[in-house]
Structures are given as structure tokens and as C-alpha cells.
Structure 1
Amino acid sequence: MRYVIIGAGAIGGSLGGRLHQGGHEVVLVARGEHGRVLREDGLTLVTPEGRARLRVPVVSGPAEIGLAPDDVLVLAVKTQDTVAALDAWRGRPVLGGGTAGERLPVLCAQNGVANEVMALRRFRRVYGAFVLLPATYLTPGEIVAPGAPLTGLLVLGRHPSGIDDTAERIAADLEASRFRAVTVPDLPRWKYLKLLGNLGNAIEAVCGEPSPELHVRARAEADHVLRAAGIDRADDADIAELRGALVETREIEGEQVSRNSSWQSIRRGGSVETDYLNGEIVVMGRTLGVPTPVNEALQDAANESARLGRAPGELSLDELVARIAAHERLTVGG
């Protein structure tokens, strides 16, 4: 199996780098300055073991690669970029006949619960993953992955349900490449648990620091919404058991402390995927008539920071709390 990593940022670069080191065929898809550095100098993968310069093949898009029947497309872009990426690849021809959308599996290694649905509109074979992988991408060509002794944990399955030979083969390749990887028949339960964990991303992205108290409040709202919707989720204890002491974030001398993906997006001056994290809870709450003022305030603040080009920390926690209170008053007032 060859892995075509669409989006070679923190997650995609870590997956591609480790799979390459594990002896698997990998192609990274990256554009701009990041793509240029990857082509000219290779991927620099920084882990607790040290710095490795990896000469992984790189393309800027689907027109630069011929697809084969044993390829796996790994989607690792932010959710706001998912539709464009899927549309770019779905119609590409595959050796022997047919298109990527008809013949190839696509694995969504992404946050949120919307990507697999978007993919299923365009691809017949869709897989998803709960991804727990501390990694940072701030410098073109360089990915810092401080997880140890294993780089990350992935819980894999077919969407919307089931396990098949492809899922098992992907998991086996990841297991052989410094990851803990397990397959489950009920993937959405695990994706909703990951969604709850990502609701705090906006806090750190906006304020520059986490707030466990605000995260708890955002999760409480979300749990209320999920119960109202009749949506089941896995438990934190399930992930803790799988993770154990296998994936711990280690400090790497001279490197930035690992921050969440939304913080990295704001830090790089890009768009942020909060509409598909806190915003997922907001839209469900509005559909069901369940108030979600905390998640609404976090969604608005993160989008504002991205739109205005604010750096993490330019809005204080006190200011964010005041915004949440204003949303709560608006909710009470109808």
C-alpha cells in the first residue's frame, strides 16, 4: 500500500514521516513554501529521538502523481479545506480504470465529525480516525512530534461503521511505524469523544493559554446537546486505557512546547477550523433548541482572531469570559 498524504502539516507530516521511516511507500502533498522546502531539503522530523532528514517524495497536487489501485489517500487538511481537497482528487484516474472516488480508500485523519460525511458524498470507501498525536508545524519543512515512546494513537474504522481488511492493513502499517493503532466497528462514538476534547482548542488559540474551567463548561454544553440528539460517545477512560503510558508528550530541547492545532493555525496567520469543532455543537444546539452560549462565544472569538490576524494571547481570558457572559445573557433574553 502506498500512502498519499494530502496535507503534510503537523498530523500529515508526522504520519508520513513515520510511515516512511517504517519502510512504507509515502508521497506527501504540500504547496507553497512548505512544499518547496520539502522538495529541496526533505522533511525534517523532530522527535525525542533526535532530528531526522527524510527524503520523502513530494507533489503539489493530484496532477503530479499517477494513482494506483493499492493507494490510500490520507486526508490531513483542516476541515475548512476538506471539500476543495476531496473535489481535487475524486475524479483522478486510477491505473486499470475508474477514478479515485470510485476505487480508492480515503482516510480522514482529522478533527471533528464532518469530514467523513463530506468524503462519503465523493468517495465510496471512507475511513476515519480518532487521532491523538502531539505535533507542531510552524516552520516550513519541519514537523516536531514530541510523543514517546510512541508518536501517537489512532483509533480507526470504516465510516459510518465496520472494520474491513483495508482498515486492518492500515492499522498494521501504523503499528509498525511507531504508532498505537486499533480498529473499531463504531467509529463515530470515538470521533464524538475527540470532538469534546477539541472544544478547548479555541481558548488556547485566542488567549494563548488553556483554561480547564472554560473547557469543562464547553464540554458540559456539548454533552447536553449530544444527549438531546441521542448520540452516543466513547468514554475518556476508553482512550486512557488504549493510550496508557505509550504516548506521552516529552519536552524537546530548543523546541516550542506542543500546542493544539487551532493555536498553530492562528500563530501561522491562517484560517481556523473552529466552525467544525465548537461550531458543530452550536449548529446541533440550534437545531434541537438547546442553548450553547459558551461554544458560541468560543467560535466567534476564534474566527475573529483569525479574521483580524491577532496572535494567540491578544485577547485575555478575562475578556473571553466576559464575552461568554454576554452570550449567556443574550440566550436568557431570547
Structure 2
Amino acid sequence: MRYLFLGAGAVGGTIGGRLHQSGHDVVLVARGPHLTALRKDGLRLTTPDGTHQLPVPAIGGPEEIELTPDDVLVLAVKTQHSAELLDQWAPRPVAGGGTAAERLPLVCAQNGVENERLALRRFARVYGMCVWLPSTHLEPGRVSAAGSPRSGMLHLGRYPQGTDNLAHRISADLAASFFDSPVTDRVMDWKYAKLLGNLANALEAVAGPIDGELRSQVWQRVQAEGEAVLAAAGITHPSVDEQHATRGDRVTLVPLDGEQRAGGSSWQSLVRGTGDIEADWLNGEIVLLGRLYNVATPINAALQRLAGTFAREGRPAGSLPEADLAALLDL
């Protein structure tokens, strides 16, 4: 199989780079300065076992490659960029007849729970992947992943549910490439559990690390709103204890030589000045479900708005004044 990573940032770069290291056929799809750096020098992947300069092929879009029936598309961008890429790749012809949407599997290696629905509108075979992968992408051509002894844990399954032979083949490739990849017939349960954890992304992005009494209080309220919404919607998910038991000490963060551990994906978006952020699809998912099931979600809604404002206005990550943060508790 050949893996095409539609998105070569922290997640796509790490998974694609590790698969490449293990001898698998990988192509990274990127844009702008990141694409330029990948084409010039390859991918610089820093992990606990060292820094690796990997000559992974990189392209800018579907017009630069001929698709084959053995290709697996891996969508690894933030949700706000999913529809554009899906529209670009779905109609592309595949050798032997048919289109990518008709013939090729597409794996959503992304946070949030909306990407699979977006993909299934266009692609016949969609797989969800719950990405537990501490990784950082702040500079063109460079990605770091601090997990050890495994780089990450990637639950995988068919969407909306079920498993098949391809899921097990992908899982086997990942297991041989520094990942644990349990195959599950209810992958979205794991993705909803991850969603609850990702509600912290916007808080960290605008207010900084979640430490101290004030930030901890806000985080507890954010999480409580999320739990209440999922309960009202009847959405099941693994408990925190079950998640910890599954991961165990398989993905432990360790210091990387020459690398400073950055914040999460939303924090990284603000630092890179991308102009957009994923809060609409994380905290915004809780707000949406709250409106559907008549559950109040004022703090998630406030963080959704704040994160969007920070991204659009280019405000520095973690710069929310303490008084504004404290005001969230009065909502």
C-alpha cells in the first residue's frame, strides 16, 4: 500500500515519517513554505531516538500524482481545512477506472468528530482514527514527536462503525512503525472521549498552560459542560480510567534534544499565525450539541469565540488577561 498524507504537519508528518522509516511507501501533501522545505531537504523528524532527515516525497496537490487502487488517503489537517481537500481529491481518477471517492479508502486522522461525516458525503469508504499523539510543528520542514516508547496510540475503525481487513492491515503497518493502533468497531466512541480532552485546546491557546487554581477551575467547568452534553445526547465514550488503562505507559512524554515542548494543536496554530483555529469543531461541537439538547454551555461558547478572535487578530498565544479569564467563571 502507498499512504498519501493530506496534511504533513504535526500529525501527518509524524505518522508519515514513522511509516517511511519502516520502509512503507509514503507521500506527503503540503503547501507553502512547509512544502518548499520538504522538497528541498526532506522531513526533519525529531523523536526520543534522535533527529532523522527523511527523504519523503512531497507534493502540493492531486494534480501532481497518479492515483492507484493500492493508495490509502490519510486526511491529517484540522477540520476547518477538510472540505477543501476532500473536494480536491474526491473526483481524481484512479488507474484502472473510477475516482478516488469511489475506489480509495480515506482515513480521518484528526481531532473532533465532524470530519468523518464530511468525508462520507464524498468517499464511499471512510475510517476514523483517534489520534493520541504528542507532536509539534512550528517551523517549515520540521516536526517533533515526544512520545516514548511508542510515538502515539491510534485507535482505528470503519465509520460509522465496524472493522474490516484493511483496518487490520493499516494497524499492522502502524504497529511496525512506532505506534500502537488498536482496531475497534466503535472508533467514534474513542473520538468523543478525545473530544472531551481537546476542549482544553482553546483554553490553553488563549490563556496559557492549565495550571494554578483559576485555570483549573475554568477547565473543570469546560469539561463538565462537555460531559453533560454528551450524556444528554446519549453519546457513549470510554472513561478517563479506561483511556489511561489502555495507554498505560506506552506513550510517555520525554524531553527531546534541542526541542522545547510546545502546547497543543490550537496553541501551535496561534504561534504559527495561521489565521484560523479548530475551536469551532471542538468547543463548537459541544455548543452545537448543547443547543440541540437544551444544555447550557456558556464557557465552551466563550472559549470558541475567544479562540476565533485570537486567530483572526493574530493575538499572541496565552495572552488573555487574568481578569478576562476569571470573568468566564461568572458566565
Distance in 1, matches of 2:283 and 2:207, equals: 16
Residues 21-36 of structure 1: matches in 2 within 5 Å? Answer: 21-36=21-36
Q: Does the aligned pair in 2 maintain the 1:156–1:167 contact within 8 Å?
A: yes
Residues 63-212 of structure 1: matches in 2 within 5 Å? Answer: 63-210=63-210, 211-212=215-216
| Residues 186-222 of structure 1: per-residue CA shift (max 9 Å, x gap) | 1111111000000000111001222333222111111
Residues 298-309 of structure 1: matches in 2 within 5 Å? Answer: 298-309=303-314
Of residues 276, 298, 302, the one that matches 1:297 is 302
Q: How big is the shift at 1:324?
A: 4.8
- AA aligned to 1:68 is T
Of residues 230, 248, 252, the one that matches 2:252 is 248
| Residues 288-327 of structure 1: per-residue CA shift (max 9 Å, x gap) | 21110110111111011001100112213441231452xx
Stretches of structure 1 lacking an aligned partner (at least 5 in a row): 329-334
Give 1:231's aligned residue.
235
Determine whether 1:217 maps to 2:221.
yes
Q: Does the aligned pair in 2 maintain the 1:134–1:258 contact within 8 Å?
A: no
Q: How big is the shift at 1:258?
A: 3.3
Q: How big is the shift at 1:62?
A: 0.4
Using the size of structure 2 for normalisation, the TM-score is 0.97
Q: Does the aligned pair in 2 maintain the 1:147–1:248 contact within 8 Å?
A: yes
Q: Which moved more, 1:312-321 or 1:178-187?
A: 312-321
| Residues 60-97 of structure 1: per-residue CA shift (max 9 Å, x gap) | 00000111101100000110000001000000001110
- AA aligned to 2:318 is G
Q: How big is the shift at 1:286?
A: 1.1
Distance in 2, matches of 1:213 and 1:89, equals: 43
- AA aligned to 1:216 is Q
Q: Does the aligned pair in 1 maintain the 2:262–2:268 contact within 8 Å?
A: no
- Identical columns (%): 54
Q: Does the aligned pair in 2 maintain the 1:293–1:324 contact within 8 Å?
A: no
Residues 52-71 of structure 1: matches in 2 within 5 Å? Answer: 52-71=52-71
Of residues 257, 265, 269, the one that matches 2:261 is 257
SS at match of 1:26: strand
Using the size of structure 1 for normalisation, the TM-score is 0.96
Q: How big is the shift at 1:116?
A: 0.2
Distance in 2, matches of 1:258 and 1:174, equals: 25
Q: Which moved more, 1:191-200 or 1:239-248?
A: 239-248
Distance in 2, matches of 1:249 and 1:122, equals: 37
Distance in 2, matches of 1:110 and 1:32, equals: 21
SS at match of 2:85: helix
Distance in 1, matches of 2:202 and 2:100, equals: 34
SS at match of 2:138: strand
Size of the aligned set, in residue pairs, is 326
Of residues 254, 271, 283, the one that matches 1:278 is 283
Distance in 2, matches of 1:252 and 1:153, equals: 19
- AA aligned to 2:320 is L
Q: Does the aligned pair in 2 maintain the 1:200–1:214 contact within 8 Å?
A: no
Q: Which moved more, 1:243-252 or 1:309-318?
A: 309-318
- AA aligned to 1:300 is R
Distance in 1, matches of 2:131 and 2:329, equals: 29
Q: How big is the shift at 1:141?
A: 0.2
Where in structure 1 do 4 or more consecutive aligned residues deviate above 6 Å?
A: none
| Root-mean-square deviation over aligned CA pairs | 1.0
Determine whether 1:47 maps to 2:52.
no
| Residues 260-312 of structure 1: per-residue CA shift (max 9 Å, x gap) | 00000011111100000000000111122111011011111101100110011
Distance in 2, matches of 1:130 and 1:94, equals: 28
- AA aligned to 1:289 is N
